[in-house]
A and B are shown apart, each in its own frame.
Chain A
């Protein structure tokens, strides 16, 4: 594999400044290359611009400076084909059943109905929602609604999946299990995954590589390769290597987190 195909998404000198009377420099400059098929996580203190990073990479907002490419094509303020996004907030459509939620994107692009049924069945089954296919989101728990959102993104077969703290609102046990499902999904789809999280253990357990961001304006202060095998699950939390990775993440983050708290106090 050549370098050009190995780098799936690339950011060059990317910054994001929110204009206004008091402009806010939220992000960057960021230089980053995400390897095709890898699981990359971003951790950082709260308010450091993690979500802003996801927004500009997804094309949901344009960078103030710098260049972003996805599969060699520039990204600038519109979401490219092949990119799927899962947000932190529950974004399931309350007026649609689970099945219709999952089929939503495919229907909009005019996929053949038989193909929609096949792919939706698979995604619903994969996310463990078969028994709830006819239910409305209001009847489901927070974790299940987030699974609906993941399934809705998954059926579109994105080659780059961006997840913005998708398990942030869930309890610890559910988060660990959802992490397992995410790993399963990643292995099955061969997609590249970028996960934004504030949970160090989540990043340490799931990722091939973890980027640690500084307090605002967010820059990468550490990039760490975990060296985990591709076939892994939440049981690696008992591996001695897991503790070492978490410890290193925390030592990189500690000062920055204190800055973030100090800046807000």
Chain B
């Protein structure tokens, strides 16, 4: 109970600091760069009343949902597979790690040529951002699973499929949840960047459009919405993550 209250207090303090810095920046840079907090919140709420905003939001959420789903399914499958074959895992891990560090935005022209302008390019861009951490976390978890659990599976004459489903997956689930949390943020990043560069729809497009047409109110309000969504979702996933790790 006390920990919970402290957590709330910490959160409130962070929000307060952000508001002060925000207001300070506004005082320094003026209405040319950003709008003040209260005005932004009001404008953001107003945005939800316009049908065109909903169209953009739906576009982004659909692309983000698909890219997260693909990242999760492919990432977990690939991580389990690479983890099960030690050699393949040892070869793939450093490659994936270096791939992870590449500034992926440089690959965007290639993605556009492959998938064309449209939702599939955004989804693909989200996937190349979000999938690798899911693979790496899953692979790491499989490699560090306690061998005695797998021996137990063999002693109980479980088939490879049963071992994967009933021993391997539950044993690595907490780590996979951590991987998904990181993958979640990066998928969102990938989709938004994709929308900023080559798209006619979506939240990323709205932000870049606002910048191009010097609509500071729009840019600041949409940025606020994205931040609130990301922070909220991340906190929820973090709670799930902690709960899964806690039962160990």
Q: Is A89 an interface residue (CB 8 A)?
A: yes
**Given A91-B148, A93-B167, A108-B162: A81 and B157 within 8 A (CB)?**
yes
Q: Is B151 an interface residue (CB 8 A)?
A: yes
- Measured in the bound complex, the distance between the Cα atoms of B156 and A85 in whole Å is 8
A95, B247: Cβ atoms closer than 8 Å:
yes
Interface residues of B in 173-203 (CB under 8 A from A): 173
Chain A residues with CB below 8 A from B148, complex form: 87, 89-91
In angstroms, how far is the closest chain A Cβ from the Cβ of B113?
A: 45
Chain A interface mostly helix, strand, loop or mixed?
loop
**Given A89-B146, A104-B166: A95 and B151 within 8 A (CB)?**
no
Q: Is B226 an interface residue (CB 8 A)?
A: no
Proximity bits, A74-105, B CB within 8 Å = 1, else 0:
00001101011101011101111000000011
The residue among B151, B167, B171, B173 with the most chain A CB atoms within 10 A of its own CB is B151
Q: Is B105 an interface residue (CB 8 A)?
A: no
A87, B152: Cβ atoms closer than 8 Å:
yes
Minimal Cβ-Cβ distance residue in B for A88: B148
A104, B156: Cβ atoms closer than 8 Å:
yes
- Measured in the bound complex, the distance between the Cα atoms of B157 and A93 in whole Å is 16
B170, A60: Cβ atoms closer than 8 Å:
no
Q: Is B149 an interface residue (CB 8 A)?
A: yes
- Measured in the bound complex, the distance between the Cα atoms of B246 and A94 in whole Å is 11
In angstroms, how far is the closest chain A Cβ from the Cβ of B177?
A: 12
Interface residues of B in 222-248 (CB under 8 A from A): 247-248
**Given A91-B149, A93-B149: A58 and B155 within 8 A (CB)?**
yes
B247, A138: Cβ atoms closer than 8 Å:
yes
Chain B residues with CB below 8 A from A85, complex form: 151-152, 155
- Measured in the bound complex, the distance between the Cα atoms of B170 and A90 in whole Å is 17
In angstroms, how far is the closest chain B Cβ from the Cβ of A142?
A: 14
Chain A residues with CB below 8 A from B146, complex form: 89, 91
Q: Which of A58, A84, A95, A138 contacts B173 (CB 8 A)?
A: A95
Q: Is B110 an interface residue (CB 8 A)?
A: no
**Given A60-B151, A87-B151, A138-B247: A93 and B156 within 8 A (CB)?**
no
**Given A136-B247, A138-B247, A156-B156: A91 and B151 within 8 A (CB)?**
yes
For B, the interface residue count at a CB cutoff of 8 angstroms equals 18
Interface residues of B in 5-61 (CB under 8 A from A): none
In angstroms, how far is the closest chain A Cβ from the Cβ of B178?
A: 15
Minimal Cβ-Cβ distance residue in B for A86: B155
B155, A94: Cβ atoms closer than 8 Å:
no
Minimal Cβ-Cβ distance residue in A for B174: A95
A108, B156: Cβ atoms closer than 8 Å:
yes
Q: Is B154 an interface residue (CB 8 A)?
A: yes
In angstroms, how far is the closest chain A Cβ from the Cβ of B147?
A: 9
Q: Is B62 an interface residue (CB 8 A)?
A: no
Minimal Cβ-Cβ distance residue in A for B244: A95
Chain A residues with CB below 8 A from B166, complex form: 104, 108
Proximity bits, A122-143, B CB within 8 Å = 1, else 0:
0000000000000010100000
In angstroms, how far is the closest chain B Cβ from the Cβ of A96?
A: 8
In angstroms, how far is the closest chain A Cβ from the Cβ of B60?
A: 35
- Measured in the bound complex, the distance between the Cα atoms of B158 and A146 in whole Å is 21
- Measured in the bound complex, the distance between the Cα atoms of B247 and A84 in whole Å is 27
| Known interface pairs A85-B155, A93-B171; 19 further A-B residue pairs with C-beta atoms within 8 A, sorted by A's residue number | A60-B151, A60-B154, A79-B155, A79-B156, A83-B155, A85-B151, A85-B152, A89-B146, A91-B148, A91-B152, A93-B149, A94-B247, A94-B248, A95-B170, A104-B156, A104-B166, A105-B156, A108-B162, A138-B248
Closest 4 CB pairs of A and B: A85-B155, A89-B148, A95-B170, A91-B148
A–B pairs, 29, beta carbons within 8 Å: A60-B154, A78-B157, A79-B154, A79-B155, A79-B157, A81-B157, A83-B155, A84-B155, A85-B151, A85-B155, A87-B148, A87-B152, A87-B155, A90-B148, A91-B148, A91-B149, A91-B151, A91-B152, A93-B149, A93-B170, A93-B171, A94-B248, A95-B170, A95-B247, A96-B170, A104-B166, A108-B156, A138-B248, A156-B156
Chain A positions near chain B (C-beta within 8 angstroms): 58, 60, 78-79, 81, 83-85, 87, 89-91, 93-96, 104-105, 108, 136, 138, 156
